[in-house]
Amino acid sequence: IDLEHLGVHRSVSTVFPPEELIETLEDLPVTVSLVEDEDHNDTDCEAIVTFEHREWFADLEWVHSVQAGVDRFPMDVFEREGVVLTNSTGIHDRTVGETVAGYLLAFSRRLHRHVANQQRREWTQPDWDEAFTLPGTTACVVGTGTLGQGVAEVAGSLGVSVRGVRRTPEDVPGFDDIYTTDALLEAVSGVDFVVSTLPLTDETRGLLDAAVFEAMDEDAYVVNVGRGPVVDEAALIDALEANKVAGAALDVFETEPLSSDSPLWAMDEVIVTPHSAAFTVDYYRDIAGLVRENVRRLEAGEAFTNRVV
Ligand code: NDP
């Protein structure tokens, strides 16, 4: 790749102002500028940093996704057209870890109910046996990559024992135990929280299904911060309605934005957040670090980091 012009696509505005990234990358030895959809025919950039996919990216040489999940990019097309795709895994450990710790604390200290009551100016104390503390509880984190390790670190620091589920049995830092995916039902039984941090792949689609909710304890909570379709949403709603699980905190959904008629919005023990578990004022700085490193590698003739295609 002969990189002279790196574009920053307007769609990154979902997570940060493009101008912040462009200014931070000012000292790179290439031109960095904003690219709008309407004037893409006039741009001469060979590479782009983007949140969303556009068909015309197939004519570029390098696409960098500011998300870790690249399930919405047409990898077969990129492969065929020789487009390099890099992603942003490796940066969302602390943000997502703290968000998940927030869900766990909300459930244990009943904060979500207090906030809901406050909207109605209602003074209602919880029942004597509703609130609990986190030390002594166990979380099963499915997916032990960047997100999973961030969850293990932050939840672990709050006294939660953390077991992990991954495809191979090797230990991962921060996890007390590792289970392989074929032992998922065993891994989710007897824990207080089941947390999915999985990417969406052919193998993970619908992995958290009715059988998983059946295997979970009735007082356990489901958390999904990976990708929506990894959880069978209809089966989760059934399990919540039948009290087979205690509640859920969901950042990602089968269809986003979540439809206003979804029953999930109105359930007392469900926390809905709008795919924002990784949001942080420092997002553009983390992306700048990844892009800077790959531009350096390109100039030095080294292989890209975070390369997916
Ligand atoms: P990583 O690549 O670091 O981690 C993914 C992990 O998933 C790997 O460690 C892999 O472990 C595991 N995995 C993959 N397939 C399976 C399987 N079938 N069974 C069990 N484990 C599996 O990615 P990140 O942690 O950075 O991100 C994970 C996903 O989270 C992203 O793909 C994205 O979709 C989502 N995400 C959501 C965000 C949000 O805002 N809510 C923010 C950032 C990411 P192993 O190889 O050991 O099996």
pLDDT digits (tens, 9 = 90+) for 87-114: 999 999 999 999 999 999 999 999 999 9
CA 238 to ligand 1 centroid distance, Å:
26
Across residues 26-40, what is the average pLDDT? 95
CA 51 to ligand 1 centroid distance, Å:
18
Answer whether 275 contacts ligand 1 (Cβ < 6 A). Answer: yes
| Banded pLDDT at 54 (limits 50, 70, 90) | very high
Q: What is the ipTM of this complex?
A: 0.99
As a whole-number percent, the residues of the chain with pLDDT over 90 amount to 98
CA 226 to ligand 1 centroid distance, Å:
7
pLDDT at res. 152: 98
Across residues 259-279, what is the average pLDDT? 98
pLDDT at res. 145: 98
Answer whether 199 contacts ligand 1 (Cβ < 6 A). Answer: yes
Answer whether 228 contacts ligand 1 (Cβ < 6 A). Answer: no
Give the three-class secondary structure for 248: strand
Query: Is 227 one of the annotated active-site residues of the chain?
Result: yes
Quote the tokens at residue 50: 């983007």
As a whole-number percent, the residues of the chain with pLDDT over 70 amount to 100
Looking at the chain, list the stretches that DSSP marks H as alpha helix, in order from N- to C-terminal side: 18-24, 75-81, 93-109, 111-119, 146-157, 184-188, 210-215, 233-241, 283-300
| Banded pLDDT at 149 (limits 50, 70, 90) | very high
Distance, CA of 279 to chain centre: 10
Which one, of 298, 293, 250, 300, lies nearest residue 275 by Cα? 250
pLDDT at res. 225: 98
CA 27 to ligand 1 centroid distance, Å:
32
Residue nearest to atom 41 of ligand 1 (CA): 225
pLDDT at res. 146: 98
Selected catalytic residue, list 36, 256, 299, 302: 256
pLDDT at res. 238: 98
CA-CA distances (angstroms) from residue 95 to 98, 110, 153? 5, 22, 11
